[in-house]
Amino acid sequence: MTVHQIVVDVMLKPEILDPQGQAVANALPNLGFPAPASLRIGRHVELSLEAETAEAAVEQATKIADTLLANPVIEDYAVRLV
């Protein structure tokens, strides 16, 4: 078996309000930065998974993301091999 590095990025779905992102976007002009057109905040998760193939590691990470890392009702996620 080989250890594979996987990244899972979790973001709120576009139709879900992001109060944390909105708070940061509103604070930027007060700190001297230009106001962004949009700003959303999510999570970046790095996993090291042991699997026979890279495809098997991505499949395992996808199951982990769907079960534990993301709430599929309000969040989207992307799984990628590093």
pLDDT at 71: 97
pLDDT at 82: 95
Q: Which residues contact 35 (CB under 8 A, 6 or more apart)?
A: 25, 28, 29
**Which residue carries 């990470």 as its tokens?**
61
Work out the average pLDDT over 14-41: 97
> pLDDT by residue (tens digit) across 42-67?
999 999 999 999 999 999 999 999 99
Work out the average pLDDT over 66-70: 97
pLDDT at 50: 97
